[in-house]
Chain A
Amino acid sequence: DAGVTQSPTHLIKTRGQQVTLRCSPISGHKSVSWYQQVLGQGPQFIFQYYEKEERGRGNFPDRFSARQFPNYSSELNVNALLLGDSALYLCASSLYNGEAFFGQGTRLTVV
């Protein structure tokens, strides 16, 4: 079985640009969560979607948005990129609130 897949793996963007990150959960998992991990810190929760509805949002500005599609895949959008948005963006899928299975992440660099 395929694990959680994320694309792209690496991305370089310029300040002010917009970016879309994609995630495909493990087959059968209806819950997808997004985390931001800055170097040297633990993952910080951004969003959780379950059955295509937003269940929770972390302490991130409105520049961050996400959605989940009927096939349970998900996209994370970040507008008006700042240098501080440079981080590893992790997607995790789970059955509900059990163990989280993380993808390899998208490393975003904003220059």
Chain B
Amino acid sequence: GQQVMQIPQYQHVQEGEDFTTYCNSSTTLSNIQWYKQRPGGHPVFLIQLVKSGEVKKQKRLTFQFGEAKKNSSLHITATQTTDVGTYFCAGPVDDYKLSFGAGTTVTVRA
């Protein structure tokens, strides 16, 4: 079955620095979704990418969908303490469920 993998598992970032987290699928995806889960919280939808090569920006967050629609990335610039949390990518499988990656847990050093 489809597997969605994320790297790195952990990202320790100095406040103000940039970082990127990557998501790879074993199969082509119709779309890719990104979620953020704060410590002790629940996943919150960030964005959905649908088109091959699509790039979307949300303030300091840049999301990209690969040309083959099998990979995606999330780039955060000028990391802030509010960016702390776990970022998940998820792809639809069998038209009814989301397959989540294991997530990238981000900690920020002030």
B residues 86-110 with Cβ under 8 Å of A? 88, 90, 92-103
A25: chain B residues within 8 A (beta carbon): none
Tell me if A78 is interfacial: C-beta within 8 Å of chain B: no
- The proximity string for A residues 91-108 relative to B, scoring 1 for CB distances below 8 Å and 0 otherwise, is 000000111111111000
Contacts A42-B88, A42-B101, A42-B103 given; does A97 touch B48 at CB 8 Å: no
Count of A-B residue pairs with CB < 8 Å: 53
Tell me if B8 is interfacial: C-beta within 8 Å of chain A: no
Q: What size tier do the contact residues of chain A reach? A: 20 to 34
Distance to closest chain A CB from B37 (angstroms): 9
Binding site for B on A (CB under 8 A): 33, 35, 40-45, 48, 50, 55-56, 58, 90, 97-105
